[in-house]
Amino acid sequence: MKIALCVSVPNGGEEFLKLLADTAARLASGKHEIGIDFTCHGEQQRGLTETCGLKLPVYRSHIVPREERRYLHANSVTHSRCVNALFASVEADVAVICDFDMALVCRNWDQFLAQRVAEQEIAFFGAPYSADAGFNFRLPQLSIFARKYQGQPNCMFAAFSPRRLRSISDRLCDFASTFGDPHSIPIRFIATPEESRCFGLPVGSFQYIDTGSRIPQLIARHGLTHQTLERRVKTYMVLRSARFPDNYPAFLYPEEYLHQGVPFVVHFRKGASKSTEDGYGPDLFKRDIDAWIAALPEKDASLVGAAPGA
């Protein structure tokens, strides 16, 4: 089968992308063709990305102009356009919309996704949004705390069959078309049990609408199957050097995502803005991942590999 990692790469994101491609190549089963589709914001960046020494071939690249930072959610508008460009053009049996600052840490990850998506026909398999982080919208008359939808995969890491999904939708995101106006506010009041079931939030709460918010609507409207990985922060298995004070912002914690207790993919989180001054920089992130992979068994009969020492 053909598998494509579809990645939106910001300016300066080449080193993280190299790590993602390297881990994907090192841990692949060898049974599938794997490559990368990516978006960037200009010809110079495209050239840098294509020549930075990726361990996987580049299938397609797209230039998506960056939305000017005139308003709070401008980056999500840009990301939405990037995801839709990747979704519309990817040619593969399995596609994975993936943040640029993630890394695969599971041996035979490709075989596992091929079975889940192509053979078992799970429409979306991936990472859920954090349940412990939200955003306070400070409006002229009030302050509103909102969280992103819960319990379903999002555009940070989501595997799917492009042919199947494009048969029911021409896009994966509608954030840019709905909230591209700087005067818009990307929040939704969860007012009905139907909305509660769709977005995994209780009636009476507020949803912070982000890039992936069309996914739960597609799942609900078309009765699509989906599975999520288990999210873990603070008590890390792979990212063992990560140490943060108790008051560290929840939305910046690096994340590990596990399947049946075994790490599958890790996420540096906010890779374009978090610095070494936070106490856990890209070098430590890479070192932890390399140490984890080095300790994995060379061969494993299971699809998801085994934890070192297990």
Domain locations along the chain: 2-131+150-183+226-295
Mean pLDDT, the chain, whole residue set: 92
Residue type, 129: Y
What mean pLDDT comes out for the span 181-201?
95
3-state secondary structure of 94: strand
What's the predicted TM-score (pTM) here?
A: 0.93
Give the integer Cα–Cα distance in Å for 272 and 256.
18
When pLDDT is cut at 50, 70 and 90, the band that residue 141 belongs to is: confident
Q: Does domain 2-131+150-183+226-295 have CATH number 3.90.550?
A: yes
Please state the rounded mean pLDDT for residues 34-40.
98
Residue 230 has pLDDT above 60, yes or no: yes
Residue 183 CB coordination number (10 Å): 6
φ, ψ dihedrals at 45, nearest 5°: -65, -40
> What band does 135 get if pLDDT is binned at 50, 70 and 90?
confident
Q: What angle, 0 to 180 degrees and rounded to 10, lies between the N-to-C axes of helices 43-50 and 14-26?
A: 30
Average pLDDT over residues 9-30: 96
- Please tell me the least confidently modeled range out of 5-14, 129-138, 200-209: 129-138
3-state secondary structure 55-81: CCCEEEEEECCCCCCCCCCHHHHHHHH
Lowest-confidence range among 140-154, 245-259, 296-310?
A: 296-310
Dihedral of alpha carbons 20, 23, 25, 27, sign: negative
Q: What percent of the chain has pLDDT over 70?
A: 94
- DSSP H helical ranges for the chain: 14-26, 43-50, 74-89, 109-113, 162-166, 175-179, 193-199, 214-222, 282-295
Q: Which helix (H) or strand (E) holds 201?
A: none
Quick one: average pLDDT of 157-175?
96
Q: Tokens for 127, please give them.
A: 């990472």
Q: Which pLDDT band, with edges at 50, 70 and 90, does 299 fall under?
A: low
Alpha-carbon distance values, 68 to 9, 81, 108, 180 (Å)? 16, 13, 40, 11
pLDDT at residue 53, as a whole number: 94
Is the model's pLDDT at 271 over the cut of 80? Answer: no
pLDDT at position 243 is: 87
301 has pLDDT over 50: no
Q: What sign results for the dihedral spanned by CA atoms 250, 102, 76, 160?
A: negative
Confidence of residue 305 (pLDDT cuts 50, 70, 90): very low
Residue 278 confidence class, pLDDT cut points 50, 70, 90: low
| Predicted pLDDT at 304 | 53
| Residue 147 DSSP code | B
CA distance 265 to 198: 26
The residue whose two tokens read 């079975």 is 115
Percentage of residues in the chain having pLDDT higher than 90 = 82
